[in-house]
Structure 1
Amino acid sequence: MKRKHFLTVLSVALISFSIVLGLQFAQPTTANTTLLVSAAASLKEVLEEIEPLYQKTRADVDLTYNFGASGALLQQIEQGAPADIFISAARRQMDTLDQRGALVPGTRGNLANNRLAIVVPKASRIVTSFSSLKEPEIKRVAIGEPRSVPAGQYAEQVLQKLNLSNDLNSKLVYANNVRQVLAAVESSNADAGFVYVTDAQISDKVKIAAIAAESFHSQIVYPIAVLKSSKNADVAKSFLQYLSSNEARGVFRKHGFIVPK
């Protein structure tokens, strides 16, 4: 009995010693760095495809995306919401942060360009040009809210350029971002809508009726920069460098974006 008790005590002591030894020599683990990227809603698919490709080069970095209208994202950043990188769908929002000294110097650049299009439900046969939006059969034309959605600002410029604003004002319905415009047309809650060409390409429920000439609106550009409020500025800079790589640029082209030289 005493021998059995002795062996039990010895076993417990050996196990305890092994645990202590293991803890002593265990390698400390470090958590991955998480980058918070606030990006225009129209970049959702391309950035989500890029994420695993980037992580092959930086397995120690996790990406968390916050997609939305550029104006809404700007407001979040101004109100103190955490973000390491900002990608807008127009210069105006980035200019605002730049003028306030909120960007890390030397990190601002232009990521990609896009085109603006009218989309209609696949079965629609009425809209074949911008002027055909005036047809009486077209009751609702969706655009992004111009005060916060760059696609809506570009749409307003097109309508003014073509002298269609007065004819279409009563038909316009406003959405909080360009993807809501797309969804409205997909569900036939709108007869037509202004979206980017890249948005139209992700849907099998709509078709492009017309593409705006680039002279009809301001250049559609996606500025990108690291924010001074970032706690991971060096890692954020590495992600910006990756986005200019041939691999990342190829993904942008695949999704229909125009990649600047």
Structure 2
Amino acid sequence: MQPTTRLAQALRRSVRAFRFWLAVAGSFVFAALPVSAAESLTIAAGAGYKRPVAELAVAFERRSGIRIEPFFGHMGQVLAQARQSDRIAVVLGDQAFLENAGQPAFARYLPAGRGRLVLAWPTGRTLAKAEELAGPSFARIALPDERQAVYGKAASQFLERSGLEKKLEGRLIMVANVPQVSAYLVSGEVDAGFVNLTDALGVRERIGGFLEIDPALYDEVRIVAGVVAGREKLPGVEALADFLATPEAEAILARHGL
């Protein structure tokens, strides 16, 4: 056998041995990791809840070691994604909306707070009460699409029950969701807009102000984490249920207007 052939064979044996011990070492490293480090929980939520979900996710991972992977959009998108992806275990939104959605079905609802409708205005304006919207200076008033956002429905109910609906004909601008209303308020493209308290708190430094609407003038908005039927056993679901009942989670939700 030529020396070069023996050298090549020795090199191949060394490479095989190196790969073997590398694999063994890798398996020990993987085994040493906590199981929860490899787990994640996918939650879908309305776009208006990015801030509270983000803070909840940090606190939940710190407590449980389970990472939350969020998906946001208007509720039509959220439900469509929950139907298509078997990874989404929980949907955060209005309980009545989720119950009437048909699909996906939900096994149970974890309480997350009460949604509150507010009327906000851009910098440079002010409102003492909602009835002032009838004045001529409020020509462009934004609200979310009531077919996709519960706060659009709540705003429509308020306008009807308060008697303002007819007075504001031709001035109402319907947009896709709550964050879009907030964006128009921040940029000054509208004179006023209806959002939820959660979003108003998030942009309060960049708008003129807001006032809370009398909750008697719109249907109650119960915000829940709906557990998708058939996905109750996915990693993290039970841990999330326990976490939402803690004072820490309740304080986070309250801080965000829920």
**TM-score, normalization by structure 2:** 0.84
> Contact conserved, 1:200 with 1:207, CA < 8 A, in 2?
no
Unaligned runs of 5+ in 1: none
Q: Is 2:74 aligned against 1:69?
A: yes
Q: Check conservation: 1:226, 1:233, Cα contact below 8 A.
A: no
Question: Does structure 1 residue 210 correspond to structure 2 residue 211?
Answer: yes
Match of 1:36 in 2: 42
Tell me what 2:100 maps to.
96
Contact 2:120 2:209 in 1 (8 A): yes
- The alpha-carbon deviation at position 100 of structure 1 amounts to 5.7
Q: Distance in 1 between matches of 2:112 and 2:186?
A: 28
Q: Decide which moves more: 222-231 or 38-47.
A: 222-231
Deviations 1:46-72 (A, max 9, x none): 11122222222333x332211122244
**Are the counterparts in 2 of residues 94 and 223 from structure 1 also a CA contact under 8 Å?**
no
Distance 1:167 1:183 in 2: 25
Q: Would the alpha carbon gap of residues 135 and 16 (structure 1) be closer, same or farther in structure 2, given more than 3 Å must change?
A: same
| Identity across the alignment (%) | 19
**Which range is displaced more, 114-123 or 236-245?**
236-245
Partner of 2:68, secondary structure, is strand
- Report what 1:195 is aligned to: 195
Deviation of 1:174 (Å)? 0.8
3-state DSSP of counterpart to 1:233: coil
SS at match of 2:137: coil
**Equivalent residue letter for 1:239:** L
Aligned length: 249
Q: Which amino acid aligns with 1:224?
A: A
SS in 2 for 1:143: strand
Which residue does the alignment assign to 2:58? Answer: 52
Correspondence 1:97-246 to 2 at 5 A? 97=101, 102-104=105-107, 107-125=108-126, 127-203=127-203, 204-228=205-229, 230=231, 233-246=234-247
What is the TM-score when the length of structure 1 is the normalising length? 0.83
Query: Structure 2 stretches of 5 or more lacking a match?
Result: none
Equivalent residues of 2:144, 2:176 under 8 A apart: yes
Kept in 2, the 8 Å contact 1:71–1:93? The answer is no
- Helix, strand or coil at the partner of 1:64: strand
1:85 to 86, 90, 104: 90
